Structure 1
Amino acid sequence: MRHPTTDFDPGPPGDASVVPDGDAWTLVFVRDLRQPPERVWRALTDPGELDQWAPFAVARDLGAPGDTTLTMIDGDTRLEQPVTVLRAEAPRVLEYTWGEDRLRWELDAEGGGTRLTLRHTLAQPGMDAMVAAGWHLCMAVLRRLLDGTPVGVIRGRDALAYGWDDLRDGYARRLAR
């Protein structure tokens, strides 16, 4: 997809950390959004909204527990991955598997907005900076979508045109253990 906004700048690396989680590591990614949790919840669960900012398309609404499929998209390449929604407690907690990874989204009301915390437990070690750079771009696109100034989804190799390499390097320095 071509992006209607050519001056899109996702900004510098933000608040993120990596914490031990049993035998794995969890990337903790925090963003403050101006919208209330109910609005952010829709963006995290509704297939039409996810398709405007997430790195994948979904086969069904993620707002209810159960199995589904996420499709990773990179240009013309499509890769389906099994997903199980483990918890869907609107509008506070959404947790699902993604292949061997686990994602937990926590939405906390902050003033009139939402503090959104993503806890992405990584099955593959050493991926934290790359995953953080990807989520950084997705969250910047999500913020613009929620603010009413969408830039269009940025997936796969398209991320390189929006500073993914610099973000990855910045998060690698920030997350060094």
Structure 2
Amino acid sequence: MEEIQLTIATLMKDENGYTAEYVRQLKQPSEKVWNSITNNEKLKKWMDHLEIVDLRKNGKILFHYNDGSDQFEEMVITDYEEHSMIEFEWGEDFVRFEVIQTDEGTTLIMKESIHHLTDHTPKDLAGWQVCLMHLANVINDESVEVPDNEWEKWFEIYNTLLEQYK
């Protein structure tokens, strides 16, 4: 089993609000990482709310509520570069994945722009933390169980981190 460094996101303040940046060093090639992010069969294994409908700039991603209501939101892919970067709407914010081939494998950078910090922000950051854990399992073809309550641990960490920005 490949050990993944589970560092927390770095939160940076800028003129537009904040950016949370997660960086993961993976031993797998960039093609496999990219496929795990953009192939719907792989995507549903680590973020089952998302479905890519049209993979291109100005294309479309659906966010399914998965609550039995069959409701979803359409999100626009705002920036895209085949095999290296995808950015899409996330409410009034944006999420961006960058895939960079390295000599050791791949650097995966996930950024969430956050216009306003809210009481929900630590839950959102903890959710991405856990999704990235699941993504690493998909990329590494592992079936390591991530406990259902794992996000609660990360919620406390991010809640504490965000206290300094209030």
With the length of structure 1 as denominator, give the TM-score of the two structures.
Answer: 0.76
Runs of 4+ in 1 over 4 A off after TM superposition: none
Identify the range of structure 1 (138-147 vs 15-24) with the bigger mean alpha-carbon deviation: 15-24
Q: Distance in 1 between matches of 2:68 and 2:17?
A: 32
User: How do 1:95-106 residues align onto structure 2 when only pairs under 5 Å count?
Assistant: 95-106=87-98
- Which deviations, in whole Å up to 9, do the C-alpha atoms of 1:108-145 show, x marking residues without a partner? 22333111111101244234322221011111111111
Q: Distance in 2 between matches of 1:166 and 1:101?
A: 24
Q: Distance in 1 between matches of 2:26 and 2:103?
A: 10
Q: Distance in 2 between matches of 1:53 and 1:163?
A: 14
Size of the aligned set, in residue pairs, is 160
Is the Cα contact below 8 Å between 1:15 and 1:31 reproduced in 2? no
Aligned to 1:108: 100
Seen in structure 2, the aligned counterparts of structure 1 residues 83 and 19 have a Cα distance that, compared at 3 Å, is same
Seen in structure 2, the aligned counterparts of structure 1 residues 137 and 146 have a Cα distance that, compared at 3 Å, is same
Aligned to 2:129: 136
- Which deviations, in whole Å up to 9, do the C-alpha atoms of 1:40-67 show, x marking residues without a partner? 11111111111110152314253x1223
Is the Cα contact below 8 Å between 2:29 and 2:101 reproduced in 1? yes
Residue of 155, 162, 166 corresponding to 2:153: 166
Aligned to 2:112: 120
Aligned to 2:83: 91
Q: Secondary structure at the match of 1:35?
A: coil
Higher relative contact order (CA 8 A, sep 6+): 1
Structure 2 residue ranges without an equivalent (≥5): none
Q: Distance in 2 between matches of 1:99 and 1:171?
A: 20
Is the Cα contact below 8 Å between 1:105 and 1:116 reproduced in 2? yes
Q: What amino acid is the match of 2:49?
A: F
With the length of structure 2 as denominator, give the TM-score of the two structures.
Answer: 0.81
Q: Distance in 2 between matches of 1:88 and 1:142?
A: 20
Instruction: Give the aligned CA root-mean-square deviation in angstroms.
Output: 2.6
Q: Percent identity?
A: 23
Q: Distance in 2 between matches of 1:61 and 1:46?
A: 11
- Which deviations, in whole Å up to 9, do the C-alpha atoms of 1:38-93 show, x marking residues without a partner? 1111111111111110152314253x122324223445355412211122212222
